[in-house]
Amino acid sequence: MDTHDREPTTLYDKIWSKHVVYDPDPADANTPKLIYIDRHLVHEVSSPQAFDGLWSANRSVRRPDCTLATADHNVPTSPGRFTSSFQTSEYIKEPASRAQYTALEKNVRKSGIPYFSLRDTRQGIVHVIGGEQGFILPGAVAVCGDSHTSTLGAFGALAFGIGTSEVEHVLATQTLRLRKSKNMRILIRSTHLPLGVTSKDLILHIIRTIGTAGGTGHVIEYAGDVVKSLSVEARMTMCNMSIEAGARAGLVAPDEKTVEYLRGRPFVPRVEEGWDEAVEYWKTLRSDEGAKWDKEVVIDVEEVEPTVTWGTSPEDNVPISGNVPRPGDFLNDPSKGEGVKKTLEYMGLKGGEKMVDIKIDKVFLGSCTNSRIEDLRTAAGVLLALGAEKGKVAEGMRAMVVPGSGIVKRQAEAEGLDVIFQRAGFEWREPGCSMCIGLNGDQLSSGERCASTSNRNFKDRQGTGGRTHLVSPAMAVGAAVTGRLVDVRNLVKLGKEKEKEIIKGKMGTDLPATLFDDPSPMPVDNLDEEHFSKPDDTSTATSGSGSNADSRRDSRRFTSVHGVAVPIRMENVDTDMLVPAPLLKGLGKSGFARALFNRFRFKTNPDTNKEEELDFVLNREPFRRAKIMICDGRNFGCGSSREHAVWALKDFGITCVIAPSFGDIFFNNSLQNGVLLVVLPQFTCEELATYAETGGEMEVDLVKEEIRCLGQDKVFSFKVDPNNRDRLLKGLDDIDLTLSVEEKISEYEARRKEGWRWLELVSRLDGNFKKRVIGGSMEW
């Protein structure tokens, strides 16, 4: 494949252009292109409906060898995975979680996709294992039905989250129909981070600076000497939270650190499989001098302190030396002030309070943001620096460490970190998403306050009424031992020294060669047959994914809608608000009407409580029968990739949403399901929302691209991208469209095999990785 580009281009441009399988309209950069997907990670929450769709259309998985599956969101983190009497039904007690887990096992077995079950040491959070296994390589395009796939951009890959319909598309075709995002660069000035400041603090600071919609529509490249100075794992933490900055993906150009990190990992090519060629190619992966950026932001690192959130959006953060803002600080933006007031009520905080005065009840050290070995070393180093007496979890505090994968856990245990944590009073758990999202029951109780190393502090995210403060691992330890938020900068320095001692003393600083050897046996061969013979009765599987082409087309078609419009007067309506996590556990696409805005519509626990919150607009007449939703705040549908948010809107009866801007993944998910999204300027949305409040009816006509408010002469025009308009009017199925050019995919695959043979060789799951030494030293 040609590596010489004519004019200066960005890293993203380069990766993109090398993956175009088919371009239906080369003259128009805006039309969707068919893009090859090199790597596909799959987990249990976002895949059941995709497999269901695949099977019901009699299709198979095109490239099981380029796909890797594991279960992470629903799995308990309690001990007991590796006992001889293990039974899935005993270990995963919660029926809906078990149903998703067993559905995944059934689907990987049927498709032949490599899979790490929870009895495999290699299991872990999908974004952690993607890097750890060397499954994601520089220059590759990688996807997963999960928003934090952006984590893997740290390897110089184009890695991004997709919805369930797109998961089905990738399973069936190994491609996606994509419109190119814009290029954004975040240049971080200076040479290194100030002492005690980590990449977690830096990314929180960036999100505060650019806002949670700052990267919308863009792929962010992080650049500058500071980024080069960061370890690959620290880069993963930054790229992870690109989605919290609204971006489609975040990436860092690969360098010698990337290559050293990858060397020897299980899925990485061996010398005879093209390692040297691969490295030669990776060296070309950088943005050219003079490349054009659609947006550029410069960050001065001297200003960054350990950073902590105070509110319910990742942008609600301040330096640890700062104070909780007061609603009155936003006099020039009264609606923001009102929002801050509500947030502070939820968070149980007073405006003006010092951050260091905030008391903490629980500490969660884990998640795809900060659960890798370096995170655990830093945290253990801080504990050691505090000494045996002070380095103890505060009285009444519950603190847990949930390693990102079984390999991280194993490595930490080999280094003695588990002993350090447990001696200090931390719980030492099995890997999984755990309290980041609380799907497995690891949750906060109402009113509990948590210092969490995760990435989302949304209302109710870690448990109904739970209060989350996002922090770095070092800050999490500070909170655990003092019982409040605390500035740990001085301790980090001492901790770093201790950390070096631990590692040297135990096993040397290199990646232990034996780490990946002799994992526990692959369970695909000895699965509990009970899963397959007796389908779990909690399964809500329906034929929603379509039993025939006509009904599929009808469910995707949109021409016009006429009816009541419900006004939603909020900014940053994230998909956790649209459908809370506990309601993601179904196996079908229907039955989500109650899930929509569930935590706003129903009191307390969404699983059990039926009592309506009568103040909430969707519970008032005539909005109970709304067909259109009008939001006058930016960034509707940001956050998680859960397509359930769109299924819930549809099930409720809403097929059109109007807002000033939308989250990228939500936008695509809506299109896939025949839900029209109309983008209009904020003042127009405000005008429409004010009209909607009167209960008046409205018509949204996609044919004429017009909105008419009944009884008013005024007509509002809008524009939908012609391609999307055509798809919606005709109810076109992307998979059918793609399969009609199947020969282009085969041609691309043949070229890829020829030019990038190192990308082909990923089928190495013989269950017993041997120590492999790759190449000699490399000239960069």
Ligand X SMILES: CC(C)[C@H](C(=O)O)[C@@H](O)C(=O)O
* Identity of the residue numbered 285: L
Q: How far is residue 30's CA from residue 725's CA, in Å, rounded to a whole number?
A: 14
- Least Å from the CB of residue 142 to ligand SF4: 14
Handedness of CA 227, 230, 236, 242 (dihedral sign): negative
CB of 54 to ligand X, least distance (A): 18
Segment lying near ligand X (by CB under 6 A), choices 53-61, 206-214, 279-287, 637-645: 637-645
For residues 48 to 77, the per-residue mask of contacts with ligand SF4, x marking binding by CB under 6 A and - elsewhere, is: ------------------------xx----
Which of the residues 58 through 77 are near ligand X (CB under 6 A)?
73
**C-beta closer to ligand X: residue 71 or 709:** 71
| 655 forms part of the interface with ligand X (CB under 6 A) | no
Structure-token pair, residue 162: 């997709």
Q: Is 242 in the site for ligand X (CB under 6 A)?
A: no
CA distance 407 to 413: 10
- Interface with ligand SF4 includes 584 (CB under 6 A)? no
412 with 132: CB under 8 angstroms?
A: no
Q: How far apart are CA 73 and CA 524, in angstroms?
A: 19
Q: Which of 365, 362, 385 is nearest to 373 (CA)?
A: 365
Given 410, 531, 642, 708, the residue binding ligand X (CB under 6 A):
642
582-611 positions binding ligand X, by CB under 6 A: 584
Q: Which is nearer to ligand X, 33 or 169 (CB)?
A: 169
Separation of alpha carbons 167 and 34, rounded Å:
15
Name which of ligand X, ligand SF4, none residue 161 binds, using a CB cut-off of 5 to 8 Å depending on partner kind: ligand X
Answer yes or no: are the C-beta atoms of 422 and 365 closer than 8 Å.
no
By a kind-dependent CB cut-off of 5 to 8 A, residue 689 interacts, out of ligand X, ligand SF4, none, with: none
Instruction: Pick what 102 binds: ligand X, ligand SF4, none; C-beta below 5 to 8 Å, kind-dependent.
Output: none
Residue type, 431: P
Instruction: Please report, as residue ranges, which positions from 148 to 167 form the binding site for ligand SF4 (by CB under 6 A).
Output: 148
Instruction: Tell me the closest approach of the beta carbon of residue 136 to ligand SF4, in angstroms.
Output: 15
**Do the Cβ atoms of 480 and 397 come closer than 8 Å?**
yes
Q: Which does 651 bind (CB under 5 to 8 A by kind): ligand X, ligand SF4, none?
A: none
Integer Cα distance of 481 and 396 in angstroms: 11
Bridge-based pairing state of the strands 307-309 and 317-319: antiparallel
Residue 432 touching ligand X (CB under 6 A) = no
Under the criterion CB under 6 A, does residue 640 sit at the interface with ligand X?
yes
701 bridge partner residues: 560, 706
Contact residue for ligand SF4 among 70, 309, 453, 454 (CB under 6 A) = 454
Report in angstroms how near the CB of residue 365 gets to ligand X at its nearest.
17
* Candidate residues 210, 259, 368, 479; the one interacting with ligand SF4 per rule CB under 6 A: 368
437 is a site residue for ligand X (CB under 6 A):
yes
Separation between Cα atoms, residue 132 and residue 565, nearest integer Å? 48
**Which residue in 235, 237, 209, 210 sits closest to 222, CA to CA?**
235
Q: Nearest 5°: phi and psi at 699?
A: -125, 130
Residues 37, 41, 45, 707: which binds ligand X (CB under 6 A)? Answer: 45
CA 704 to chain centre: 36
Establish if 383 lies at the interface with ligand SF4 (CB under 6 A): no
As a whole number of angstroms, the distance between CA 550 and CA 548 comes to 6
Cα gap 153→252, rounded to integer Å: 6
Report in angstroms how near the CB of residue 215 gets to ligand X at its nearest.
16
Question: Closest separation between CB of residue 456 and ligand SF4, Å?
Answer: 6
Q: Which does 92 bind (CB under 5 to 8 A by kind): ligand SF4, ligand X, none?
A: none
Task: Report the nearest approach of ligand X to the CB of residue 471 (Å).
Answer: 17
Contact partner at residue 641 from ligand X, ligand SF4, none, CB < 5 to 8 Å by partner kind: ligand X
User: What is the Cα–Cα distance from 39 to 144, expressed in whole angstroms?
Assistant: 9
- Residue 573 C-alpha from the chain's centroid: 16
> Taking a C-beta distance cutoff of 8 angstroms, is the pair 215, 249 a contact?
no
Q: Is 46 one of the binding residues for ligand X (CB under 6 A)? A: yes
501, two tokens: 């001692």
Residue 472: which of ligand SF4, ligand X, none does it interact with, CB under 5 to 8 A by kind? none
For tokens 């009866």, the residue is 653
Which positions touch ligand SF4 (CB under 6 A)?
72-73, 125, 146, 148, 367-368, 433, 436-437, 454-455
Which positions touch ligand X (CB under 6 A)?
45-46, 73, 146-148, 161, 437, 584, 640-642
